[in-house]
Structure 1
Amino acid sequence: MRPSVRAACVLLRLFCARFSVFCSVTRSLDGKWSLSNSDGSVSLPAEVPGCVHSALQQQGYIQDPYFRFNDVSYRWIALDNWTYTTTFSVSGQLRANHKVLLVFDGVDTAASVWLNGIIVGKTDNMFRRYDFPVRDLLKDGDNVLNVSLLSPVLYASERRTAHSAYRVPPECPPHVQQGECHVNFIRKQQSSFSWDWGPSFPTVGLWKGVRLEAFDVLQLVRVSSVPLHSLSQWTVQVELLVDAVQTTNAQIALSIPELDSEQILQTQFLPGKTKNSFTLNINTSSQVKLWWPNGHGDQPSYHLTVRGFQGRDLILNTESKVYFRSVELVQEPVVGSPGLSFYFRINGKPVFLKGSNWIPAHSFQDQVTPAVLRNLLQSAVDVGMNALRVWGGGVYEQDLFYSWCDEMGIMVWQDFMFACALYPTEDDFMQTVREEVVQQVQRLKSHPSIITWSGNNENEAALATDWFNIPAAQRAAYLRDYVTLYVNNIRALVQEEDQSRPFLVSSPTNGAESEQEGWVAADPYDPHYGDTHFYSYSLDCWDWRTFPRTRFASEYGFQSWPSFSTLQPVSTLEDWSYNSNFSSHRQHHEDGNQQMLLQAALHFKLPNSTDPLKRFTDTLYITQVMQAQCVKAQTEFYRRSRSEIIEGRGRTMGALYWQLNDVWQAPSWSSIEFGGKWKMLHYFAQNFFAAVLPVGFEDGGTLFVYAVSDLSPDLELRAVVSAYSWSDLDPVCTLKSDLLPVPGGSAAIVFKQPVAALLAGCGSCTRLTCLLTFHLEDSGGQQGPTNHHFLSSPKDAQGLQRPNITATVQEGPAGYSISLRSASVAAFVWLDVGNVPGRFSSNGFLMLSRNRTVSFDAWRETSVEELSRWLSITSLRDVY
């Protein structure tokens, strides 16, 4: 043992003895290990936590795995077996403890663990914590720890072969994904074998920390605290998961000093791991400050202190944060409609969920840094999101993710990690799943941000609509497996561990109606119930009639390509064409590249430059314009549908588009590119997720403007509608409606007029020569953003000219600003500063004034000269 480590242990022992504290001793084994493959031909240092791909790249054995076609070139890594090895020493004091555990917070995935040549256990689940007793195996001097990991691809295949009773589809991903087979037979990140937005990188490694934990009396494994509210009284359910050496009688003191609440209880810790539950009653005279979602209030927290005494000796001492909030999923009859409502009530208030879906932020989890997480979550909050759905084909996110969601007011819809597949139900598979579920619920249930658990992604729909061509005679067996896994096991365990929030068996689902139909509804996409997923790439996304008027939209979206500056580092000159092998290789969604162009061509002229590079970059731009406008139209439709029932459908109370973030540099449904750069869609979200929003659309030749308000107070608002000629920067005419009441948390019509009559009152305006803008006002001025409505497809617009926008970059006390001057109306004005990371205050906008200033928040040191050199400005008219 190093002298510094020995000294620290001695000091800890002296502290424990001096203050009569029964301490546990932790010895981290993180850091430098050695790594080798099955035949010893590759041997190198490796960091723990980490994975094989990262180690190979760090030591120069491979290039960037994301470069060009390396996802295929490096397939060999996941087809080999790998062994991590470390040598360590331990003090006599540590070995003198009654119990010493070797703890792995995350092993990816199938492994055997050996200490000093003796096997101490095996792992088979990436999502579980494992601990093994090793006290009697430790020795003086060097101790050698080996973790031998099997190829996840071959392991999954072997598990599939062993399961010979019947097929568990899908066998393999679609060919376009270039992925690996049988991922549903291994408990690891499902998308690591490929997905329609991501590469196939089946990771191998020790992806979380490794340590020794030694103790004489007991060790606190986890503390959780869940506030519950009933009859105007708050209580906090405190659970201690404790590993005790022997039966231990103890006195537990619970306190939240800020609320003047304290209780002392007697308990007994039994040998081994036991869960002990306690209730702390909150002083009724204390004013509890509630946790609210972003946009609805603050996120105050309190400090819970838990101390345990055996006689006069302190044997347990821990602190944690407590947030007070209640959550209900309301499914009840809707007046004027068949079916049931589906919305979340937070602290008794119905809340419209505005947000997106979260996928893994990197193929290699050890490279998801706090800075990456923070930037993505802050980007969500900064455009008005209050919710993210952690999708079931990725990973249960790290603790920091949920802690920041707590602090930022981001509600989390938490899937369990099952997606787009059927799964086996053998005893060993079910046992590891049960351990996974219990551990994850115990780890996460203290977070107020998590408002619902969901058993899987799209597996109810897969069975109901027969994705996998199951013969009718076998259907009952698959339904039994579905109920066994998600209802009898996962749902039962969640409800035993956590009564504070709702559980949904799947997404999409009909919720309570699915339960009535035996947990698999005839039509899980029925808009009269539950949540829906909806994608259509051929129908006109500008036509709101193509969207389902659902109770809750938990997935919808359109693809786009990322910016050229994002693609450039992982490509070469020959790749910079929309029809290149690289562009085809990066597209993992069948016909995705063609679908984007077909959708864009409905309303825009496609780029036609004779310069190949310009045509490529212009095409990247037009896909982002298309995506932004499509998701805007769909999101605004859902937001204006919150207060209406039309033909039995409506009362929409959630819009979570697919997807927030990217896992690599490729086309996808994301609004944020890999690396953190905002797409045009994310800039649009600043407006379409605004707390007060005007939504305009046509129905039967009549223009309607709705005022949508997420605010609690009732408002009085009017619509201000202006017509602009495509060839003139001054409005042709402006109309104002009367002030009308808009109740808090509602959508109400504030303007209604036939378009023909509106244009007739505007002199020379026609559908082809003019466009409309509109905003909301109260008696004090404008409320919310300015929106727009195109009277015709921009490709048919008459008078749209090249704006010849000029720009001046300046630096001031508040940072960098770009002053723009335009000669004419400019649509979808896009500013880009190449590889300089950062974001603009606004982008992709409609420029209807001669001058406009936009600020730029740089994420690294830059200069006016650098920004000026890299600044490019593109508008719609510039691409043809």
Structure 2
Amino acid sequence: MPLRVDMCMFVSGVLLCSFSGVLSGFSSVTDQQHTVSLSGKWSLSNSNGSLSLPAEVPGCVHSALQQQGFIQDPYFRFNDVSYRWIAFDNWTYTTTFNLCVFCINRSKQKVLLVFDGVDTVASIQLNGVSVGKTDNMFRRYDLSVRDLLTDGDNVLKVSFSSPVLYASERRKAHSAYRVPPECPPDVQKGECHVNFIRKEQSSFSWDWGPSFPTMGLWKGVRLEAFDVLQLIQVSSVPLYSTVSQWRVQVQLLVDAVQTTNGQITLSIPELDSEQTVQTKFLSGKTKNSFTLHINTSSQVKQWWPNGHGDQPFYQLTENNSGEGFKVYFRTVELVQEPVVGSPGLSFYFRINGKPIFLKGSNWIPAHSFQDQVSPAVNLLQSAVDANMNALRVWGGGVYEQDLFYSICDEMGIMVWQDFMFACAMYPTEDDFIQTVREEVSQQVQRLKSHPSVIIWSGNNENEAALATDWFSIPVSQRPLYRKDYVTLYVNNVRAIVREEDESRPFLVSSPTNGAESEQEGWVAANPYDPLYGDTHFYSYFLDCWDWRTFPRTRFASEYGFQSWPSFSTLQPVSIKADWSYNSSFSSHRQHHENGNQQMLLQAALHFNLPNATDPLKRFTDTLYITQVTQAQCVKTQTEFYRRSQSEIIEGKGRTMGALYWQLNDIWQAPSWSSIEFGGKWKMLHYFAQSFFAAVLPVAFEDDDALLIYAISDLSHDLKLRVSAYSWADLDPVCTLKSDLLLVPGGSAAAIFKQPVAALLAGCGRCTRLTCLLTFHLEDSSGQQGPTNHHFLSSPKDAQGLQKPNITDATGYTVTLHSASVAPFVWLDVGNVPGRFSSNGFLMVSRNMTVGFEAWRPTSVAELSRSLTVTSLADVY
């Protein structure tokens, strides 16, 4: 029986593989590994036995209770608070399995009971005997059980302790000094001391999500039996040498019953490369390494991010079996070097030697209950469809499922991978450190096989929390917390990552000053310094239409504004009494302090707030205006970052990344997301499709002059066309053109500059209040990229803005007709899942056709009944 390889990939020029099965094909190996899944139907009961029910594995207690009718939808109205009792009880999962049914030969020399994911604190019994304990949601647990198995029925019990009470007990045991924060803000309605338990941090609540401290077997359970050895995992640390040669260091993680000799032959026929290795596997768990050299005469096709090339792969063959597996090649560097005209350092990613501007967002858990997460295909496809090339997997959620990273590989989405620590200090007792070490080692071994993962980051915002004193730590105690910080993230997390995977960069935190933070002892005086590293920036009271309010940073890894989801998303989890912006439901759903008021204050700077007498219309109009405001705010900020990539002004600039907060939602509530829970695109996501386009014109005003920059990911000869429109008319008042300009790939260049007064005077009938501008870029073949717009005044001050009297034809294609300029035209088909080819747009033509892509079977009749069309003037 030959070695079986499940997955192999190249990352950073390194072959990274995940193997399963048994290493046979060796003279000393005569038997194969036998694996039996124990997932499926189990039974579940609470501590006093008053509840007993069937439960699926993988799964969790909340899902089982809902599926069996013991509770309603946990997301309905106020159920997150009503169902708090679930997380305060203890629960036991039980299953009975028969070895004869599974055809397991108990004579195998070793049998392991493997748990891929236990959430979180549990004791495990097999046939009444304790075989292990768990305390970390992010670890795999292997338990040796051979001598406890019987030929007949075997009873397996996993008894879970309340994660809330466990975290509280751990906090009490840590009596020497506090480890803040003690509890989340009251507005989050969450649980305390989540930093004392290694589980999804946001499960105790966050400012965009509910508190559902889950329990359960959230990943698979199985038995693995073998006589000689099992290959747990294969990965590799690749190197791309200065003589342009790929050298692949392959690492095998093996569990051997006894010392075993063997031979492995790996080859990539298309690259004319083959390597045969004689090796000795020592007794117990060991790491074994060998090197595969790639033929220097071969031209290796490389993996590229979305928008910069394809994602080609090769077939890796293990010669004993003849099986082939995908292999990817690419290199990644994080460049931090002196910048001409600036006292700081650069901060950008170079993929395959090419500087790449990261365009994307931040990923949070897609559901409070991981067993209910549908495949990530839709959300990731939506990211690609919005011209994104990167996502940051945020450090307060979970390390995502394998499928997530495989899809990112295939779609060319770069992944900034945080480790799961967020917005807190953490304890550093020996047992906590030890479980973290195992967690980090396992996750790096699992994920480093993916070319999409381009960086590891130790935590989310913990350097900033310590440096800027989020938790009011007395000055005399700060050295203690700094020591704990270095112990956890530098001496342990960083050390393990560097040992396991030197093919990618590692940052200790985000935001951070990167190399400068290291020089300052890992905690910089100001981790938000725009001259170094990455920044997070939020401001809800300053005018978001004014680009001067934003930091001209090297890399923007978090920024954003809230909005509410659409009415069709809220309706299934609410009742009529909830359909008001000032209802108890609306207040309950908002987990960010004063968030609902902040949205209206920001909207009121540029828009008239809805004032319909009909309560439901006023509510839906308000939902709409929050989405308009969010879209316009994030558009302005993102365009500022994209046009700053080629400039240094007062030492600041050369921005090389814009990852707004956040891509997706965990439930139906107001948040910073651009995609609602369930997958529906907000107006922001349609805007992202334009502001992340490969070719984009961006306008802004400075010293009463209008400037327009041409931005291009790839080299183009471009010229600009600008049109001025009266709010009351659909014929342009005037049109201006620029000369042809070469815009190198990965740059932003000024293509137009003119005083606003002179521009308006040249148009004749235009003033700031009566006109607006549209503009686009062209090359010899026609328009390149989207048409953009620039408002010369706030829409609330615009003279001539009127209800456009839009009419529409129904069906999969919607044809709109308008008699006047219509800003922020929004098409909605209620609860029919899908997306429009364009939405939230500025309509400056009499006729426009928009397509609809349905994500489930529907009909023209259903779409016709559901379709509504709204523009800005309709909500006044």
Q: One fold, TM greater than 0.5?
A: yes
TM-superposed deviation, 1:346: 0.1
Structure 1 spans left out of the alignment, 5+ residues: 1-11, 308-313, 811-815
Task: Check conservation: 1:322, 1:446, Cα contact below 8 A.
Answer: no
Alpha-carbon shift at residue 741 of structure 1 (Å): 2.1
Query: Is the counterpart of residue 528 in structure 1 residue 531 in structure 2?
Result: yes
Report 1:213-228 matches (<5 A): 213-228=224-239
Paired position in structure 1 for 2:211: 200
Does the 8 A contact of 2:26 with 2:263 survive in 1?
no
Q: Tell me how far apart the structure 2 counterparts of residues 523 and 203 of structure 1 sit (CA, whole Å).
A: 36
Q: Which amino acid aligns with 1:355?
A: G
Does 1:501 pair with 2:504? Answer: yes
> CA offset at residue 255 of structure 1?
1.4
Q: Tell me, yes or no, if structure 1 residue 817 matches structure 2 residue 822.
A: no
Post-superposition CA distance 1:771-830 (Å, at most 9, x none): 0001111233211110000000000000001011111124xxxxx211111121100000
Secondary structure at 1:642 match in 2:
coil
CA distance in 1, matches of 2:116, 2:490: 27
157, 161, 164: which one aligns with 2:168: 157
- Residue 661 of structure 1 is matched in structure 2 by 664
Q: Which one of 313, 318, 321 corresponds to residue 301 of structure 1?
A: 313
For the pair 1:72 / 2:81, whether they are aligned, the reply is: yes
Which of 63, 69, 73 is equivalent to 1:60?
A: 69
Deviations 1:418-443 (A, max 9, x none): 00000000000000000000000000
Structure 2 equivalent of residue 267 of structure 1: 279
The residue number in structure 1 matching 2:262 is: 250
Task: Tell me which of 424, 441, 444 is aligned to 1:421.
Answer: 424
- Return the offset for 1:302: 1.8
- Cα 1:318–1:217 change in 2 (3 A) is farther
The residue number in structure 2 matching 1:542 is: 545
Q: Deviation string for 1:137-167 (max 9, x for gaps)? A: 0002100000001000000001101111100
- Match for residue 771 of structure 1? 772
Query: Is 1:292 matched up with 2:301?
Result: no
Secondary structure, in 3 states, of the residue corresponding to 1:440?
helix
- Quick check: 2:28–2:260 contact (8 Å CA) kept in 1? no
Contact 2:40 2:58 in 1 (8 A): yes
RMSD (CA atoms)? 1.6
Aligned partners of 2:26 and 2:285: how far apart in 1?
Answer: 25
Match in the other structure for 2:745: 744
- Matching residue's letter, 1:733: C
Give the unaligned 5+ runs of structure 2.
1-20
Q: Does 1:510 align with 2:509?
A: no
User: Percent of aligned pairs with the same residue?
Assistant: 83
Task: State the one-letter code of the partner of 2:210.
Answer: P
Answer yes or no: is the 8 Å Cα contact 1:527–1:551 preserved in 2.
Answer: yes
Deviation, structure 1 residue 16: 10
1:320 Cα deviation from its structure 2 partner: 4.3
Are the counterparts in 1 of residues 34 and 104 from structure 2 also a CA contact under 8 Å? no
How far apart, CA to CA, are the structure 2 residues paired with 1:360 and 1:283?
Answer: 42
Q: Secondary structure at the match of 2:863?
A: helix
Secondary structure of 1:95's aligned partner: coil
Q: Distance in 2 between matches of 1:19 and 1:239?
A: 21
Following TM superposition, by how much is the alpha carbon of 1:513 offset from its aligned partner in structure 2, in angstroms?
Answer: 0.1
Displacement after TM superposition at 1:102 (Å): 0.1
Question: CA separation in 2, counterparts of 1:801 and 1:19?
Answer: 84
The structure, 1 or 2, with the larger RCO (C-alpha pairs under 8 Å, 6+ apart) is: 2
Does residue 29 of the first structure (1) align with residue 38 of the second (2)?
yes
Q: CA deviation at 1:862?
A: 1.1
Contact 2:74/2:80 (CA < 8 Å) preserved in 1?
yes
Aligned to 1:805: 806
User: Which residue number corresponds to residue 121 of structure 2?
Assistant: 110
Query: For residues 835 and 18 of structure 1, do their structure 2 counterparts lie closer, same or farther at Cα, with a shift above 3 Å needed?
Result: farther
2:350 match: 345
* Counterpart mapping for 1:819-838 below 5 A: 819-838=815-834
Q: What is the match of residue 99 of structure 2?
A: 90
Q: Distance in 2 between matches of 1:533 and 1:821?
A: 42
SS of aligned partner of 2:125 = strand
Q: Give 1:666-745 correspondences, 5 Å limit.
A: 666-711=669-714, 713=715, 715-745=716-746
Deviation at 1:276, TM superposition (A): 1.1
Pair 1:324 & 2:329 matched: yes
Query: Do the aligned partners of residues 318 and 475 (structure 1) sit closer, same or farther apart at CA in structure 2, a change above 3 Å counting?
Result: farther
Q: 1:229 to 1:129 in 2, by over 3 A?
A: same
- In the TM superposition, 1:363-442 aligns within 5 A as 363-370=368-375, 373-442=376-445
Q: Is 1:487 matched with 2:490?
A: yes
Change (3 A) 1:692 1:318: same
Q: Which residue of 2 aligns with 1:591?
A: 594
The offset of 1:318, in angstroms, is: 7.6
Contact (CA 8 Å) 2:237, 2:502: kept in 1 or not? no
Using the TM superposition, give the Cα deviation of residue 304 of structure 1 relative to its aligned residue in structure 2, in angstroms.
2.5
Query: Shift of the alpha carbon at 1:213?
Result: 0.2
CA distance in 2, matches of 1:492, 1:17: 35
Partner of 2:6: none
Q: How many Å separate the matches in 1 of 2:44 and 2:441?
A: 32
Displacement of 1:690 in angstroms is 0.3
**Aligned-partner Cα distance in 1 for 2:518–2:490:** 10
| Mapped contact 2:824–2:841 kept (Cα < 8 A) | yes
Q: Is the 8 A contact 1:227 1:323 kept in 2?
A: no
Which letter does structure 2 place at the counterpart of 1:214? A
How far apart are 1:747 and its partner, in Å?
0.3
Partner of 1:795: 796
User: Counterpart of 2:35 in 1: which secondary structure?
Assistant: strand
State the one-letter code of the partner of 1:543: D
Q: Classify the secondary structure of the residue corresponding to 1:338.
A: coil
Counterpart contact for 2:668–2:677, Cα < 8 Å: yes
TM-score, normalised relative to structure 2: 0.96
1:353 is aligned with what amino acid?
L
Residues 188-244 of structure 1: per-residue CA shift (max 9 Å, x gap): 000000000000000000000000000011111111234321120012221111111
Change over 3 Å in CA distance of 1:53–1:684 after alignment to 2:
same
Which amino acid in 1 is paired with 2:846?
A: R
Q: CA deviation at 1:93?
A: 4.5
Stretch moving more, 772-781 or 717-726: 772-781
Q: CA offset at residue 536 of structure 1? A: 0.1
Task: Give the corresponding residue for 1:848.
Answer: 844
Amino acid at match of 2:150: K
Question: Which letter does structure 2 place at the counterpart of 1:752?
Answer: K
Residue 852 of structure 1 aligns to a residue whose secondary structure is strand
SS in 2 for 1:72: helix
Q: What is the CA–CA distance in structure 2 between the aligned matches of 1:674 and 1:631, rounded to whole Å?
A: 19
Aligned to 2:855: 859
Correspondence for 1:5 = none
* Secondary structure of the structure 2 residue equivalent to 1:340: coil
Aligned pairs for 1:15-54 within 5 A: 22-54=31-63
Quote how far apart the aligned CAs of 1:305 are: 3.4
Change (3 A) 1:538 1:790: same
Distance in 1 between the 2:30 and 2:346 partners? 54
User: Which sits farther off after the overlay, 427-436 or 262-271?
Assistant: 262-271
How far did residue 94 of structure 1 move? 2.5
Which segments of structure 1 move beyond 4 Å, counting only runs of 4 or more?
A: 15-21, 316-320
CA distance in 1, matches of 2:323, 2:683: 46
AA of the residue aligned to 1:843: N
Displacement of 1:839 in angstroms is 0.3
Q: 3-state SS of the aligned residue for 1:285?
A: coil
Query: What code does the residue aligned with 2:859 have?
Result: S
Equivalent residue number for residue 18 of structure 2: none
Q: Is the 8 A contact 1:16 1:22 kept in 2?
A: no
Scaled by the length of structure 1, what TM-score is found? 0.95
Per the alignment, in what secondary structure is the counterpart of residue 344 of structure 2?
strand
CA contact (8 A) 2:27 2:262 kept: no
Return the alpha-carbon distance in structure 1 between the equivalents of residues 324 and 717 of structure 2. Answer: 47
Query: Residue type matched to 1:568 in 2?
Result: Q
Residue 797 of structure 1 aligns with an amino acid whose one-letter code is A
Q: What is the aligned partner in structure 2 of residue 784 from structure 1?
A: 785
